[in-house]
């Protein structure tokens, strides 16, 4: 597991853009119960900034053309040919950790 970012630096209920090496990631921190999701930041449609998208019902809404992606799977609700890569993630010791492969 890779230590990505302090939970204190994540925007609760929104996405946070994180660069790790050559990867651009979106970290989504949700509360009640506290959960974290990590996926590639670039929308597979036209590289929109997913970390800037709104969260609704467990999905992120891409701010460019409003395709939605399930936070837990990356599956797009608008096209079964579009999917964003997600990484297993959890919170431990005040940090977000992700299994970047
Ligand atoms: S770039 Fe994300 S929906 Fe078009």
List the CATH number of the domain containing 58. Answer: 2.102.10.10
pLDDT of residue 71: 97
Distance CA 72, CA 36 (A): 9
Indicate the pTM of the whole model. 0.95
How many independent structural domains does the chain possess?
Answer: 1
Confidence check: pLDDT of 99 > 90? yes
pLDDT grade for 80, boundaries at 50, 70 and 90: confident
Residue 45 CB–ligand 1 contact under 6 Å: yes
Confidence check: pLDDT of 69 > 90? yes
Residue 78 CB–ligand 1 contact under 6 Å: no
Instruction: State mean pLDDT over 5-28.
Output: 97
- List the one residue out of 55, 86, 52 whose CA is nearest residue 68: 55
| Residue whose CA is at the smallest distance from ligand 1 atom 3 | 65
pLDDT of residue 5: 97
Burial of 20 (0-12, 13-18, 19+ CB in 10 A): middle
Domain that holds residue 20: 2-98
């Amino acid at each position: 597991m890779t230590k990505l970012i302090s939970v204190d630096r994540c925007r609760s209920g929104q996405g946070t853009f994180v660069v790790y090496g050559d990867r651009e990631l979106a970290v989504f921190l949700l509360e009640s119960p506290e959960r974290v999701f990590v996926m590639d930041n670039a929308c597979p449609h036209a590289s929109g900034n997913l970390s800037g998208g709104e969260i609704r019902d467990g999905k992120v809404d891409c701010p460019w053309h409003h395709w939605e992606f399930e936070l837990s799977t990356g599956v797009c609700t608008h096209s079964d040919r579009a999917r964003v890569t997600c990484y297993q993630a959890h919170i431990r010791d005040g940090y977000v950790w992700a299994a970047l492969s």
